[in-house]
Amino acid sequence: MPMNSTAYELLACIRERQPLVHHLTNWVTIYDCAQVVKSLGASPVMAHAREEVTDMAQIASALVLNIGTLTIELVEAMKLAAEAAGQKGIPVILDVCGAGATPLRDQKVLELLDSRRVSIIKGNASEIARVAGARVKTKGVDASEVESDLEELARGLAIERKATVVVTGAQDLVTDGHRFFRVNNGHAIMTAVVGTGCMATSVIGTFAAVEPDLCVAATAALAVYGVAAEVAAQKEIGPSAFKQSLFDSLYSLDQETIEARQSIER
Amino acid sequence: MPMNSTAYELLACIRERQPLVHHLTNWVTIYDCAQVVKSLGASPVMAHAREEVTDMAQIASALVLNIGTLTIELVEAMKLAAEAAGQKGIPVILDVCGAGATPLRDQKVLELLDSRRVSIIKGNASEIARVAGARVKTKGVDASEVESDLEELARGLAIERKATVVVTGAQDLVTDGHRFFRVNNGHAIMTAVVGTGCMATSVIGTFAAVEPDLCVAATAALAVYGVAAEVAAQKEIGPSAFKQSLFDSLYSLDQETIEARQSIER
Amino acid sequence: MPMNSTAYELLACIRERQPLVHHLTNWVTIYDCAQVVKSLGASPVMAHAREEVTDMAQIASALVLNIGTLTIELVEAMKLAAEAAGQKGIPVILDVCGAGATPLRDQKVLELLDSRRVSIIKGNASEIARVAGARVKTKGVDASEVESDLEELARGLAIERKATVVVTGAQDLVTDGHRFFRVNNGHAIMTAVVGTGCMATSVIGTFAAVEPDLCVAATAALAVYGVAAEVAAQKEIGPSAFKQSLFDSLYSLDQETIEARQSIER
């Protein structure tokens, strides 16, 4: 992996610096998003009041936005938070959760992207295709099939939005429109657990809090998260037991395991 | 069980079709409601913005409403969602969580029922008794004792509201006012776990997404959920470990186990 | 421990009376707060609609407030709930979660305290120091270092606010401004789990529901919770597995274990 810092080095940096990762997220997986950040050794804070999101940005090192259970008021608070984060120069990661499912989600994703403050756009194949303008039907918040050339869609979106684009799936794709990274880590059981996608976004946000090259940060994040999932899946079979092990696997992940298992292509 | 489809056949159908089950639910057990639907092999979506609930109904196969942490705004969104679901012809399942605890809950349950869009009314004995007009004191969201004839109350409510009524307890009762089904599956430890009642409602909603006879759907749902609980309780003793096993038991439940254990009376 | 009731006696009383503990809390740990109350044998209810919080106070035995994900509307509902609780004479426990992180949190904590209805003020060292007026920087919702004399700050706050003050940490401190209790129970892994602080507040609220001497209630609560954590930590190593064991340890905690392990100083 020709990156300045290895995935493990970034994890070690998170554990040392314990960056504050501010979230405006959904009410379904809010606990898991907080706990996954905590399991990495960082400090999560969930705060969505319009009256405090700007102040919270002053002490945060990254901002994670997730529209899973959006309302108009919540998106307005997200815009305020993104504006403050942009002014402070911390990365803004947007999970376009459920894009394509309803006109409201499509419209609010566009509004957030038009604010020009989003640094990383993250979704599954159907969500990213939708945001990139492809014709695609999304069924709720789970991934659907996309017929277009996903790589080309992601590249175009990254260039149009001057952002890093992350497409999660059996193989994850990370691009800033010029460079392409692929991560093969992870486990099929993750699709049977509610929240693994949201948690991936929070992990990316945590790595982005310590690594300014956002392609490198997102790629390392997905490799570490995927390796932790593989380790967790060795021990357990049921999806719920797996989720618990995933947290604990992340918490105790060491250099040797990461370097033996990480599978990153460019 | 003289039903056209067996409980296992309906579960197999859910696993094959993966129906989208739309929820407007409470903030306490929202994750568990999503995960229980996912564990059955279906696809949960939690969305409560007034501006999107009507659109979400267009892609959903069932709508689950739960007033556990109601606000006036949330109930207004529930009414919009129920109206759209009714027009599309998908079933609407209402968990009357905490009915009787406060005047607000009683009033909002009545408003939701008066919309004439609720297909299945589900609660514990004290909640259903309250909704049926009996004098009963509810202590918060946990079940209280009811002195009236529960069966008669449920029958009357079903006929009055032209709905299927589900009363959960040590023995679950399902009636459309004419037919009565009783399910003996389940385990006492469920009462020590927050969310087992809400999850039962989501399971019923998921079965109703694939079986138009709502008495049959609710009965099969409670049998499958109860069998999964029995299997989970074999392995674990603590309530929190039990909850995790319950999800995983549902996820891997097979025909043999269901048919050996299901206990349905009519 | 020179208290009228021992910690175990109070736990036995909770299990027998099953008091209703009303919460207006945050959306991150709302499930865990409910489950910890349930694991103690009591009955949690989470209800935040302005239109029902006053009614809920009529059937509750304690009120727990937590500003972790505050909004202005939620704090207004908290004031109504606290007013009703005060009039009924049930204890009001306030977790000043994240005090010092933003001006909004500081302002809203002061407004809640100025209502003169808060019976127990609970936070970590940096939060309590902030509320007591010391200069302290809070980083989000995790504990920061405090340079002032914590004991003196807690004493002053207790006297000023005519409340019991609880400062959680490696050693917990409980004072009403005159008496001081210290609890040495607990385990370091708790700091790696999101929600252990919020859960402590809910446990204190549950003990305060059965013991009118709030210093005694809070001290016993922290001893029981800490002993349960020690027992859970014997079995598990990862923080997420630990959290599950913590619930189940609380659920099955017996007199012998509590009395052998509790470590209370005065």
Q: Does B29 contact chain A (CB < 8 Å)?
A: no
Fold of the B7-265 domain? UDP-N-acetylmuramoyl-L-alanine:D-glutamate ligase (3.40.1190)
A194 chain-B contacts, CB cut-off 8 A: 31, 34-35, 38, 44
Secondary structure of residue B124 in the 3-state scheme: strand
Q: How many CA atoms lie within 13 A of B138 on its CB side?
A: 29
A193 chain-C contacts, CB cut-off 8 A: none
CA distance C135 to chain A (A): 16
Distances (CA, A) of A254 to A223, B14, B262, C137, C201: 13, 40, 46, 32, 34
- DSSP lists the bridge partners of residue B90 as none
Q: Does C142 contact chain A (CB < 8 Å)?
A: yes
Contact B38 A193 (CB under 8 A): yes
Q: What is the DSSP letter of C134?
A: -
Q: Do C55 and B103 form a contact (C-beta atoms < 8 A)?
A: yes
Secondary structure of residue B122 in the 3-state scheme: strand
Residues above pLDDT 70, as percent of chain B? 93
Q: What does the alpha-carbon distance between residue B48 and residue A73 come to, in Å, rounded to a whole number?
A: 12
A239 closest CB neighbour out of B20, B27, B248: B248
C192 closest CB neighbour out of A20, A22, A38: A38
Put simply, the chain A residues between 40 and 69 with a CB less than 8 A from any chain B CB are 68-69
Q: Does B237 contact chain C (CB < 8 Å)?
A: yes
Q: Chain A: residue nearest B77 by CA?
A: A71
Q: Does A192 contact chain B (CB < 8 Å)?
A: yes
The tens digit of pLDDT for each residue in B209-236 reads 999 999 999 999 999 999 999 999 998 6
Tell me what pLDDT residue A266 has: 85
Tell me what pLDDT residue A1 has: 44
Give residue A171's pLDDT band: very low, low, confident or very high (50, 70, 90).
Answer: very high
Q: Does B31 contact chain A (CB < 8 Å)?
A: yes
Bin C33: left if φ > 0, else alpha if -120 < ψ < 50, else beta.
alpha
Dihedral sign for Cα atoms in the order B99, B100, B105, B107: positive
Mean pLDDT of chain A: 94
CA distance A157 to chain C (A): 32
The tens digit of pLDDT for each residue in B234-258 reads 986 799 999 999 999 999 999 999 9
Q: Chain A: residue nearest B54 by CA?
A: A102
Burial degree of B64 (CB within 10 A; 0-12, 13-18, 19+): buried
Residues in chain A: 266
Amino acid identity at A100:
G
Q: Does C72 contact chain A (CB < 8 Å)?
A: yes
H-helix or E-strand spanning residue C121: strand C120-124
Residue that the structure tokens 């968990």 belong to: B95
Q: Show the tokens assigned to A115.
A: 């604010």
The tens digit of pLDDT for each residue in A59-76 reads 999 999 999 999 999 999
Tell me what pLDDT residue C5 has: 80
A193 chain-B contacts, CB cut-off 8 A: 35, 38
Interface probe for A, chosen from C102, C111, C141 (most Cβ of A below 10 Å), is C102
CA distance C78 to chain B (A): 14
* Model confidence at C208: pLDDT above 50: yes
Cβ neighbours of residue A131 under 8 Å, at least 6 residues apart? A96, A99, A109, A113, A121, A123, A157
* Model confidence at C199: pLDDT above 60: yes
Q: Which of A72, A58, A61, A149 is nearest to A103 (CA)?
A: A72
Q: What does the alpha-carbon distance between residue A249 and residue A253 come to, in Å, rounded to a whole number?
A: 6
Residue that the structure tokens 């300014």 belong to: A212
The tens digit of pLDDT for each residue in B20-54 reads 999 999 999 999 999 999 999 999 999 999 999 99
CA distance B136 to chain C (A): 14
Q: Do A180 and A173 form a contact (C-beta atoms < 8 A)?
A: yes
> What is the mean predicted confidence (pLDDT) over A82-110?
97
Q: Do B56 and B31 form a contact (C-beta atoms < 8 A)?
A: no
3-class DSSP string for chain A: CCCCCCHHHHHHHHHHHCCEEEEECCCCCHHHHHHHHHHCCCEEEECCCHHHHHHHHHHCCEEEEECCCCCHHHHHHHHHHHHHHHHHCCCEEEECCCCCCCHHHHHHHHHHHHCCCCCEEEEEHHHHHHHCCCCCCCECCECCCCCCCHHHHHHHHHHHHCCEEEEECCCEEEECCCCEEEECCCCHHHHHCCCHHHHHHHHHHHHHCCCCCHHHHHHHHHHHHHHHHHHHHHHCCCHHHHHHHHHHHHHHCCHHHHHHHCCEEC
Amino acid identity at C67:
I
Q: Do A35 and C240 form a contact (C-beta atoms < 8 A)?
A: yes
Number of A:B CB contacts under 8 A? Answer: 91
Helices (H) and strands (E) in chain C, counts: 11, 9
CA distance B241 to chain C (A): 6
* Model confidence at B187: pLDDT above 50: yes
Q: What does the alpha-carbon distance between residue A108 and residue A129 come to, in Å, rounded to a whole number?
A: 16
Chains contacting B with at least 3 CB pairs below 8 Å?
A: A, C
CA distance B48 to chain C (A): 15
Contact C102 A56 (CB under 8 A): yes
Q: What does the alpha-carbon distance between residue A200 and residue A212 come to, in Å, rounded to a whole number?
A: 18
Contact B69 C47 (CB under 8 A): yes
Tell me what pLDDT residue B1 has: 44
A26 chain-B contacts, CB cut-off 8 A: 46
What is the DSSP code string of B8-54?
HHHHHHHHHH--EEEEE--SSSHHHHHHHHHHTT-EEEE---HHHHH
Q: Do C34 and C57 form a contact (C-beta atoms < 8 A)?
A: no
Distances (CA, A) of A52 to A49, B181, C14, C196: 6, 53, 38, 24
Orientation angle between helical segments B30-39 and A239-252, nearest 10 degrees: 120
Give residue A138's pLDDT band: very low, low, confident or very high (50, 70, 90).
Answer: low
Q: What does the alpha-carbon distance between residue A243 and residue A67 come to, in Å, rounded to a whole number?
A: 22
pTM: 0.95
Residue that the structure tokens 């469920």 belong to: B190
Residues above pLDDT 90, as percent of chain A? 88
Tell me what pLDDT residue A5 has: 80
Interface probe for A, chosen from B14, B26, B35 (most Cβ of A below 10 Å), is B35
Q: What does the alpha-carbon distance between residue A208 and residue A213 come to, in Å, rounded to a whole number?
A: 8
Give residue B2's pLDDT band: very low, low, confident or very high (50, 70, 90).
Answer: very low
* Model confidence at B58: pLDDT above 90: yes
Interface probe for A, chosen from C26, C32, C67, C104 (most Cβ of A below 10 Å), is C104
Give residue B65's pLDDT band: very low, low, confident or very high (50, 70, 90).
Answer: very high
Q: Does A256 contact chain C (CB < 8 Å)?
A: no
Tell me what pLDDT residue A2 has: 45
Q: Do A22 and C45 form a contact (C-beta atoms < 8 A)?
A: no
* Model confidence at B137: pLDDT above 60: no
Contact C98 A247 (CB under 8 A): no
* Model confidence at C62: pLDDT above 80: yes
Contact C194 A245 (CB under 8 A): no
What is the DSSP code string of B139-198?
BTTB-----S-HHHHHHHHHHHHTSEEEEESSSEEEESSS-EEEE----GGGGGSTTHHH
- What are the domain boundaries of chain A? 7-265
H-helix or E-strand spanning residue C64: strand C62-66
Q: Do C29 and A35 form a contact (C-beta atoms < 8 A)?
A: no
Number of B:C CB contacts under 8 A? Answer: 91
The tens digit of pLDDT for each residue in A176-191 reads 999 999 999 999 999 9
> What is the mean predicted confidence (pLDDT) over B50-65?
97
Mean pLDDT of chain C: 94
Q: What does the alpha-carbon distance between residue A198 and residue C213 come to, in Å, rounded to a whole number?
A: 44
Q: Does C254 contact chain B (CB < 8 Å)?
A: no
Q: Do B154 and B127 form a contact (C-beta atoms < 8 A)?
A: no
Number of A:C CB contacts under 8 A? Answer: 91
* Model confidence at A106: pLDDT above 70: yes
Q: What does the alpha-carbon distance between residue C30 and residue C17 come to, in Å, rounded to a whole number?
A: 23
Contact C140 A244 (CB under 8 A): no
Distances (CA, A) of B117 to B63, B183, B203: 11, 26, 19
> What is the mean predicted confidence (pLDDT) over C153-172?
97
